Structure 1
């Protein structure tokens, strides 16, 4: 469900409402709203609970001067399927986080946009008025940028292992990965377990058939540990996480500024998770981009930087815990990627193979995720012997 621009214009803020937002933003009660305009920004396929993101610009009159301004309006819409705090995509979570004031108490060098207002609307939606990060430098997909983000993520997570209290609100204490896996499996309708889903391999080159047979076998074996992996993630040292670190949500200081600070937007998935999970989701998102550009998955390099960040924060615990969090949370993405791969194969037509390129990229991603799952299972046996699948 999404809120079309025309709907926003029907319920657009009146000038007095916008003036109040600007009073908070510009810290002046003596303010006149001179001009303003707005336009939608962001993805054409937003989060289902995001009814739109809009940039408002204009001029304001202040005592003795005028000032230009810009502010972001993010609309959150109620969704019956995502209306409980235990859901990884609980529709009210970001609004509640901003209302709690938590994002004003983040560790050093981590910043969220300032919030200038949280408004519950008559139609049941929530409007978030947020600081515009347009003046900052958005992260890109380069390895340099990704390594910098991994280091800062380590410092961010590590702060909660070294004295910074974990946030208390109940809407942050849920199993993100457990909820996400459950939702993905429901949407996939057990496709990867259905024999018929694999029959399309017959029309592929022989090398592909062998590869898919291996993927199928490894997937079935790895999924035997799924429940144990999810349980073990809940045993890891707990940290506050953003859980959606990828370039569209990450901003570095202005060009020429330090890269050891990070501004992060979109806190919809934030919560309490295990050490390394933040990096696992980060790496899982990066994998699809790496596959699209024929890049070598840089897991070890990102892990090295994340660990450096943890050490910088003062954490000197068992590195295997971090590796487990990374590999388990990244590897479990297979429940989403493998159905996409099977659907791409099913879409191949005759000798045209119009979906073959997409399938090839998904195959590379699936193989790397299986590598992660297998490493996570090995670490599971090392860290918690006797509790993993196949143990007596």
Structure 2
């Protein structure tokens, strides 16, 4: 395989040695749809290991996940390399959150970029107890409170939430389709009232996005969820900085919590308790860092971030007859389990959205559009 030969040569250069018997590449789980990612592997040889992530702009994929040459676009293909090379990936390290160490960034003759990264041992957040997620939330609050919006770079993403959600339109015509809502998976596993709540969230999308874009800013990872976080025994190690850029204070936490349920890492029944404990910890971290803003703005950032998942309800309606793949295409999950857990998590987000509608006018924002 050409990929193995190229990786073997780069491995030798990175570690300044030749691996006896050659190197071994083991594919790692990632989003295979993303046009930016040519592949991710754990590479071992000679008693050493590293993670190889190859960034590309030539991979064929859907329009939704296409790589972009626009440095401000949420899926700009070179961004992760810039984040690592600039040192921004380590900007939160003194608060207990870091990235894997960059070992090398290799420009390949075909135009791709090979990121050679520290192979972080330790427990993935997909297996963490709830208390460890809460601890991570505290660290995130402390980090974002201390760093704030950070130093802008011309390749950091902007308008992430607006542009990321705009391209996800599958099934939107089904939100008002009685037959789609009568599908057995939907009827039996989506909570009562969810249809009305999710239709309203969809129709209020512009209001929510405007609120999120008007809140205090922070340097954000914008893809924090358990599959992208590990523990090295001391720090939280956050992977995959491809979307990093401008976001609202609280937006990263608002992504982390529901995503923990959507991909079945945390039971939906635990989400309300986890979300309360994690938010309290995040706010405590903010205060401990010296942040002295109005905490209601942070709460609004967390709750209004529910708009990120406006598209998910429509997708669930559209895919109710399909096999339900696990993340990264690694097998399948039971459809009943997925629809029950996601239905409960979407209902929780509907409560966040309702809280945001009540809170925003108290902080000087216009009221949300009234229900239809």
Q: TM-score, normalised by structure 2?
A: 0.83
Aligned-partner SS, 2:57: coil
Q: CA deviation digits over 1:289-345, x for unaligned, max 9?
A: 56973523121111011111111111122111111111111x114323202331354
Counterpart residue number, 1:180: 164
1:158 equivalent in alignment to 2:140: no
Q: Name 1:145's counterpart in structure 2.
A: 132
- Counterpart in the other structure of 1:326: 302
Q: Alpha-carbon deviation of 1:357?
A: 4.1
The answer to whether structure 1 residue 377 and structure 2 residue 353 are counterparts is: no
Specify the alignment match of 1:127 in structure 2: 114
Instruction: Give the direction of change, closer, same or farther, for the CA distance of 1:313–1:107 in structure 2 (3 Å limit).
Output: farther
* CA deviation vs aligned residue, 1:63-94 (integer Å, no higher than 9, x gap): xxxxx422221111215832123332222110
Q: Is the 8 A contact 1:284 1:333 kept in 2?
A: no
Contiguous gaps of at least 5 residues in structure 1: 1-5, 24-31, 60-67, 349-353
2:327 aligns with: none
Q: Distance in 1 between matches of 2:220 and 2:5?
A: 36
Q: Distance in 1 between matches of 2:153 and 2:336?
A: 46
Deviations 1:199-251 (A, max 9, x none): 14446499759956x32222233334321211121222211111222233222
237-246 or 355-364, which deviates more: 355-364
Structure (1 or 2) with the larger CA radius of gyration: 1
Q: Quick check: 2:174–2:180 contact (8 Å CA) kept in 1?
A: no
Matched, 1:78 2:54: no
Determine whether 1:111 maps to 2:76: no
Match of 1:18 in 2: 11
The structure whose RCO (Cα within 8 Å, separation 6+) is larger is 2
Q: How large is the RMSD of aligned CA atoms in angstroms?
A: 3.0
Q: How big is the shift at 1:18?
A: 3.2
Whole-angstrom CA distance in 1 between matches of 2:187 and 2:33: 37
**What is the number of residues matched between the two proteins?**
348
Change in Cα spacing, 1:192 to 1:267, as seen in structure 2 (3 Å) is same
Matched, 1:310 2:265: no
Equivalent residue runs for 1:206-355 within 5 Å = 208=188, 211=191, 214-254=193-233, 258=234, 261-289=235-263, 293-297=267-271, 298-329=274-305, 331-345=306-320, 355=335
**TM-score w.r.t. structure 1 length?**
0.79
**Structure 1 residue 7, shift from structure 2 partner:** 4.9
Deviation at 1:346, TM superposition (A): 5.0
Which runs of structure 1 show a deviation greater than 6 angstroms over 4 or more consecutive aligned residues?
none
Separation in 2 of the partners of 1:138 and 1:205?
A: 31
The residue that corresponds to 1:88 in the other structure is 74
